[in-house]
Structure 1
Amino acid sequence: MSTDVVSGEPSRLRADARRNRERILRTAMRHFSLHGINASLEEIAREAEVGAGTLYRHFPSREALLAAALEDQQKELLACAQRAGKLADSGAALGAWLGALQDYLRSFNGLPAPVLAAVKERESPLCLSCNALVSLTDEFLVRAQQDGRARATVTANELFLSALGIAWVLNRAEACGTTRQALEKVLAHGYLAATDEPPAPMMTAPPPGD
């Protein structure tokens, strides 16, 4: 199973530069967790006690900072992939992977948006990890398809985009009157009734005067 999601190890830096980078990254992770992906980079630099120029030397863009901030979550995601890959039921393995993927995509509020952009923008610092995640999704999907546990017409890219959409709405699920379980059921089974499933009862208007 593929495990190369990201190799974001910083190059050899002077001790003071390395400390600055680590301080910026720790601060960014906290701000992204509290305020989402649009957290102020100026505030991150100020709290990390570095200038904006220092921040941008280490992380040239918001996406580069996000990619570095996600490394720990990516390691946990890979551990989840390894555990899911050991499940005997390929359908259950695919479901476990998609659940873990959705959790990862919720690491920071608003994360699905730059991830979606990275799918289309090859130059994005998030692109490498996105491609690896689609490849992992494909591994789980192909196994499930070979066992007859997933439809042959589904693609890994479609599943990945579906997971992105569900991850975006999960943070708002309760406010929108739904649940994670309901959304995952739609992802797993679609919305069309099985051919042998009876139709829903017709709603009838109450008698006049009620």
Structure 2
Amino acid sequence: MPEAPIPQRRPRKDVIRNRNLLLETARRHFQQHGVNTSLEAIARDAGVGPATFYRHFPSREALLAEVLQFHSAELQGRQQHLLGLTNPLEALREWLLALEDYLSVFHGLPEPLVAAARLCEQNHPLTHPCEQLMETTSTFLQSAQHAGQVRQEVQGRDLFLATAAIAWIRGNGSTDPLAVMGLRSLIEHGYHPQEATPQN
């Protein structure tokens, strides 16, 4: 006779409360000070000790991955809207702008995401959200490629990294908006199909 499954214990209310408080406090600190803010300051502001903090979030990347879930709903809403556009090139262009906004939500956010994209380690907390962003970028890219609006050799990973670079520049605050627009235009010109050179 098979053994009955052991019932799963539900988390205590204080455990759930501490976790939610840490996430909200971390989100506020990331917005004010960037993703490299002091983890000790987050724990102190949330009113928990370091041991409690690290039981919930063993690393900065684990905490950041959870906090990003707060901001993913808006990006997903923009994604669904863009999937309904009839012009694939316009959908790709608008998705890259939406992705840029998302990557700019916290100062310094592009660096850990790009690092996760480079390492491709499945146990890294940021690998899955990073892969999802690259897959979505590839979806919009491939639609534009099938329509003949984008060069076939362009990869979704390339556009993700280029967009992360612009988001990093925006977050750095040292480049004026016109220069950022110029960088966007330069990247867009790079993925457009090359026009044939007129023959004499």
Fold in common (TM above 0.5): yes
> In 2, distance between residues paired with 1:171 and 1:82?
26
What residue in structure 1 maps to residue 100 of structure 2?
102
What residue in structure 2 maps to residue 176 of structure 1?
175
Deviates more, 1:127-136 or 1:180-189: 180-189
Bigger share in helix: 2
> In 2, distance between residues paired with 1:47 and 1:170?
28
- CA spacing shift, 1:195–1:169, aligned 2, 3 Å: farther
Partner SS state of residue 81, structure 1: helix
Partner SS state of residue 145, structure 2: helix
Answer whether contact 1:170 1:179 (CA < 8 A) is retained.
Answer: no
Partner SS state of residue 65, structure 1: helix
What residue in structure 1 maps to residue 4 of structure 2?
none
> In 2, distance between residues paired with 1:106 and 1:42?
24
What residue in structure 2 maps to residue 6 of structure 1?
none
Answer whether contact 1:33 1:107 (CA < 8 A) is retained.
Answer: yes
Answer whether contact 1:24 1:45 (CA < 8 A) is retained.
Answer: yes
What residue in structure 2 maps to residue 33 of structure 1?
31
* Residues 1:79 and 2:87 are matched in the alignment: no
What is the CA deviation profile of residues 57-83 of structure 1, one whole-angstrom value per residue up to 9, with x for unaligned ones?
A: 011100000011110211211111111
Query: Cα distance, 1:111 vs. partner?
Result: 0.5
Answer whether contact 2:26 2:42 (CA < 8 A) is retained.
Answer: yes
Answer whether contact 2:106 2:171 (CA < 8 A) is retained.
Answer: no
What is the CA deviation profile of residues 88-126 of structure 1, one whole-angstrom value per residue up to 9, with x for unaligned ones?
A: 110000011111111111111000110011113313101
Segments of 4+ moved more than 2 angstroms? 175-180, 193-196
> In 1, distance between residues paired with 2:150 and 2:118?
26
> In 2, distance between residues paired with 1:195 and 1:137?
27
- Which AA in structure 1 matches 2:90? A
What residue in structure 2 maps to residue 129 of structure 1?
129
> In 2, distance between residues paired with 1:120 and 1:152?
23
| Aligned-CA RMSD value | 2.1
TM-score (norm 2): 0.86
* Residues 1:185 and 2:185 are matched in the alignment: yes
> In 1, distance between residues paired with 2:70 and 2:10?
20
> In 1, distance between residues paired with 2:87 and 2:150?
12
Query: Cα distance, 1:195 vs. partner?
Result: 7.6
Deviates more, 1:80-89 or 1:181-190: 181-190
How many residues get paired? Answer: 185
Tell me the percent identity.
43
Answer whether contact 2:88 2:140 (CA < 8 A) is retained.
Answer: yes
- CA spacing shift, 1:52–1:187, aligned 2, 3 Å: same
Partner SS state of residue 190, structure 1: helix
Structure 1: give runs of 5+ residues left out of the alignment. 1-10, 197-210
Query: Cα distance, 1:151 vs. partner?
Result: 0.9
